[in-house]
Amino acid sequence: MICLWDKKDFDKLPEVVIKDILSALDHGYGERGIEDVFDDLALDNKQLWLVDCDGKFVATVITHILEYPRKKTCEICYLGGNNMLNSVSDIKHIEVWAKHQGCKDIQIIGRRGWLRALKDEGYLERYTTIGKEL
């Protein structure tokens, strides 16, 4: 089960959420720290989702709604936790929520494991993002 966490309840977040977010950030290239993520959540720039399996939190998902000139897109920014890819069916709940927010698209920028996990759900590779430190 996946649920959107209300920011008024941030003081009740399970400790594992911080570990999950740090784990997701570890796969980045230093663009953001956990303080930046929590600032975005507090300002309603991003949304926090918790994945529960049999009464235990197993993953944390962070989304962001992007408003392009011609459409709104929901981006899944971060995913951290245990058994994350076993919880991909929960992404359908995020898709429904995104539609209710007026989004016409959903995207994930991340590692190729996402494509393997979501191919059967209709997700296709659109872009490849690569980078290099200077």
Question: In this predicted model, what pLDDT tens digit does every residue of 35-50 receive, in sequence order?
Answer: 999 999 999 999 999 9
3-state secondary structure of 133: coil
For the entire predicted model, the pTM comes to: 0.86
Question: Could you give the CA distance from residue 82 to residue 21 in angstroms, rounded to a whole number?
Answer: 12
List the domains of the chain with CATH numbers.
2-121 (3.40.630.30)
Contacts (Cβ under 8 Å, ≥6 apart) of 44: 7
pLDDT digits (tens, 9 = 90+) for 87-107: 567 788 999 999 999 999 999
- Among candidates 77, 20, 8, which has minimal Cα distance to 50? 20
